[in-house]
Amino acid sequence: MIAYLDGNFITPDQASILSVHALHYASAVFEGIRIYDGQAFMLTAHVERLLQSAEIIGLKPNLTLASCTSILTETIERSGLRNAYLRPIIFQGGPNLGVYAPDNVTRFGALIWEWPSVFGEQRAQTGISLTTDVPYRRAPELCFPSQAKSSAGYMVSGINRRKAELAGFDDALMLTHAGLIAEASGANIFMVHNGELLTPEPHGILNGITRQVVMANLPDGLICRECPLDPSDILEAEEVFLTGTAYEVIPVRQIDNTLFQVGPRTQQIMDIYRSLTSVIQSKR
C-alpha cells in the first residue's frame, strides 16, 4: 500500500484513518446527548435510538443498552464537565473499502466537550432566522432511512446550512421532496396557528427526541397536531420555534421575509423544557 496524507507519503500503519469505511461511505450513526450539571438528559432514549439506528443501516456493534449506557456514564464522570455535549458514534472500520464490506469490524467511540448555546445566549431568547432558499430537499422515506440518525443524513444539512449562513441567515428551513415544510438543518420545527401547535409528520425527517419531549409536556390547553405544512402556512403562523438536543427549544424570529415575535406559547414551552432539564439535577 502507498498512502499520502496532508503533504506527506505515510506508512500503512499511519494511513489507518484513510481505510475507515465510514469515511468513504458514511457507514456511521451517532447521537448528541446534552449534559446538564453533570447529568445526561434522556440518556436511555438516546442510547436506544443509537442502537436502533445501527440496526437500520446494518451495523453490528458489540453493545447492549446496559453496556453502552455504562460506558457513556463513565465518559461523563471522567470528563468532569458539568454542562456539555456527548457524542457517541458507531461506525464501520476497515480495511475493506468495498461498498458492501461485511467482514469489517464495527467500532464504537464517544467524545464529550463543553457546550455553550448553539447560536449564543441572546439569540436563544430573541430568536433565530431561517431561509427556505437552499439547494436541496429531504429525501422521501422510500429513498433514505430517515429514522436512523446517520452521518449520511447530515451531508445535505451541512450544505444547506452553509448556503443559509452565507445569505445572512442562521439556519436553513428544508422542504420535503414534495415541497412541504420538513425541518431545519438539525432540528424539528413547530408553529402556533389559530391556537394550535402544528408540526410536520415525521416522514422523511428524524422524529427528534426533543420533539417527543416537547409534545409530551405541553402547556395546559395546548393541543399539538402533526400534519402536512405548506410553506404558505408560514405567513399564517403566529409563533415558530425549533427543537433539538443541541438547539433545545429556540424561537424563530424570521423565515425568509416573514417576521415573528417570541410569543407566549413559545415562552411557556421553553420554560417547561428548562424545568425538565433541571429535574435530573435534583435526582442526584
239 close to 192: Cβ distance less than 8 angstroms: yes
Give me the pLDDT at residue 49, please: 98
Q: What is the pLDDT of residue 268?
A: 97
Length of the chain: 284
pLDDT tens digits, residue range 93-110?
999 999 999 999 999 999
Q: pLDDT tens digit string along 193-216?
A: 999 999 999 999 999 999 999 999
Query: H or E segment at 186?
Result: none
Whole-prediction pTM: 0.93
| C-beta neighbour count of 216 within 10 angstroms | 9
pLDDT, residue 279, reads: 61
In 3D space, the residue among 136, 137, 128, 135 whose CA is nearest the CA of residue 168 turns out to be 128
Retrieve residue 23's grid coordinates: 469515511
Instruction: Collect all residues with Cβ–Cβ distance below 8 Å to 7 and sequence separation of at least 6.
Output: none
Q: Residue 240: which of 232, 250, 231 has the closest Cα?
A: 250
The b/e string for 130-146 (b: 16+ C-beta within 10 A; e otherwise) is bbbebeebbbeeeebbb
- Is 251 within 8 Å of 128 (Cβ atoms)? yes
The whole-number pLDDT of residue 280 equals: 54
For residue 129, the SS3 value is strand
Low-confidence ranges of the chain (pLDDT < 50): 281-284
Residue 117: per-residue pLDDT: 79
Closest CA to 176 of 215, 231, 131: 231
3-state SS assignment for residue 52: helix
**Contact indicator for 191, 202 with CB cutoff of 8 Å:** no
**CA–CA distances in Å: residue 80 to residues 72, 73, 192, 277:** 13, 11, 40, 19
**CA-CA distance, 173 to 160, in Å (whole number)?**
9
Helices (H) and strands (E) in the chain, counts: 7, 16
pLDDT at site 282: 42
What pLDDT shows up at residue 12? Answer: 84
